[in-house]
Structure 1
């Protein structure tokens, strides 16, 4: 090359140019972070739902109705995926099954064991399950920076929820803790599962819109019976209808369109780690809107999650 501006080529192992790094961040980590920000609003939104609405109903309306919207947005673009062969269909079916299980396990975990334990186990375990899935199915190696960033963020989540004090906090029985923890692990595994399934289909050449439409639309079909059985209180009042519409459109449909865009650029393990920002948003909104309290440890947790997410964003 005749000069520094002539055909800049990266050497093996060199850091990408700043402009390239910014583009990479905007196309991968940033959409996932925006999605996680919207997911963090679900708890505050659910606070305004009728008191008779169960966690199962809230989970089913969020992923069920939202999944149908994603399927409608995808439209006929899902047809090539349906004809893509047995392996692609099995991947989509596994993803849809995870989509159906996740909200039922997640919201039930919080209802049984409390928000703190439910959040820590469900959200904190998902990156671990994601990297295990990638290791077993793809032979991927553990990235040291991912491990460090995820550990920092996960510790931050623990500090956050343990320093987050709400009016309804109370000591849980051992059985409740055990049951809620088990459901939280199911939620973490299924979140990682549908993230991996979607990412795998995209890596095989499918666009994000049909992939998310097919996987979440399939999960919605599986959730509809649950919504029919439990959704009465949500649909019998104006507040319930408003909350249901918001949950289905914003933290579900819009967020998962963005999540799909991010998954086409980053791995499922990175995406699930980035989504650890969700409980931070939820906790801050609970203070600003609901009137709950964050202690010093919780604010330290916010800082740790922020540091971990920043490290992940820089490495993606």
Structure 2
């Protein structure tokens, strides 16, 4: 497995801890403002990290691409949390995360004229089927039409962020891309922090979950994701990110003591199969590639 692929998978695993983290947050922490806090702490952390490493540059930024990347990450937060609120965790998560790889592949095809490989289609189909099975037991109530539309907006936002970040990486270092994009996104979401009661963040649990969700589950996770993205196709990276719901489900089983039915375990197996298939590279291909270079 390539190190870059491992970075993307580790990022997805960290993202999968956000739901469990929110469960330990004070009751006053509304989902919408929790996302804004996540971006604020994560954005400042990433920007400081990039600055300390001397990676920030004032020139060489494709301004239009940078703005689109920042907007897409900013929009993802309210889209996703609102979708989950309106249509439920199951339906909202399946539509948002499940639609992202398809949208990313289609956008690569339409915008960059790059048709995804057959391997991507097979892995994506298996992974999406797995995610669907994973949430079917809790999705019987269905979801509102508006909630589904918002979830699709979240999937589109994540796909656009991945594609635009891929383009920014051609000009800037991963630390600079994540730091700048997330800081700008945090600025865009800052008004939400003045619309809610933020006293909860001064409590010990509030500070703990805020630091974890911002520094680890956002800062470290997206730094890993962007670093891996430099050498992984955008459509492949989005498919690998489907490890997020897998992690969330396993944490729910172990920490929250939720029981998973057989259909959910079947979904986990399909999800793992899709991730393994898109990550695996036969040694023959590596040897042939080395011979060609020589």
User: Does the pair score TM above 0.5?
Assistant: yes
**Mapped partners of 2:268, 2:34: distance in 1:** 26
**SS in structure 2 at match of 1:230:** coil
Q: Identify if the C-alpha distance between structure 1 residues 48 and 170 changes in structure 2 by more than 3 Å, giving closer, same or farther.
A: farther
Q: Which has the larger radius of gyration?
A: 1
Flag as ranges the 4+ runs of structure 1 deviating above 6 A.
Answer: none
Residue in 1 that maps onto 2:156: 189
By how many angstroms is 1:142 displaced? Answer: 2.3
By how many angstroms is 1:227 displaced? Answer: 2.4
By how many angstroms is 1:236 displaced? Answer: 4.4
| Structure 1 unaligned regions, length at least 5 | 1-21
* Contact preservation (8 Å) 1:95, 1:194: yes
> 1:90 aligned to 59, 64, 68, which one?
64
Pairing 1:155-194 to 2, within 5 Å after superposition: 155-163=129-137, 165=138, 171=141, 176-194=143-161
Q: Identify if the C-alpha distance between structure 1 residues 229 and 275 changes in structure 2 by more than 3 Å, giving closer, same or farther.
A: same
- Per the normalisation by structure 2, the TM-score is 0.90
* Contact preservation (8 Å) 1:57, 1:231: no
2:36 is the counterpart of 1:60 = yes
- Per the normalisation by structure 1, the TM-score is 0.84
Residue in 2 that maps onto 1:134: 108
**Mapped partners of 1:265, 1:58: distance in 2:** 32
| Structure 2 unaligned regions, length at least 5 | 283-294
> 1:121 aligned to 95, 107, 132, which one?
95
Pairing 1:273-284 to 2, within 5 Å after superposition: 273-284=239-250
**Mapped partners of 1:34, 1:48: distance in 2:** 22
2:192 is the counterpart of 1:226 = yes
* Contact preservation (8 Å) 1:78, 1:214: no
Q: Which moved more, 1:68-77 or 1:183-192?
A: 68-77
Residue in 2 that maps onto 1:238: 204
> 1:70 aligned to 33, 46, 50, which one?
46
**SS in structure 2 at match of 1:290:** coil
Q: Identify if the C-alpha distance between structure 1 residues 137 and 78 changes in structure 2 by more than 3 Å, giving closer, same or farther.
A: farther
Residue in 1 that maps onto 2:236: 270
**Mapped partners of 1:196, 1:161: distance in 2:** 27
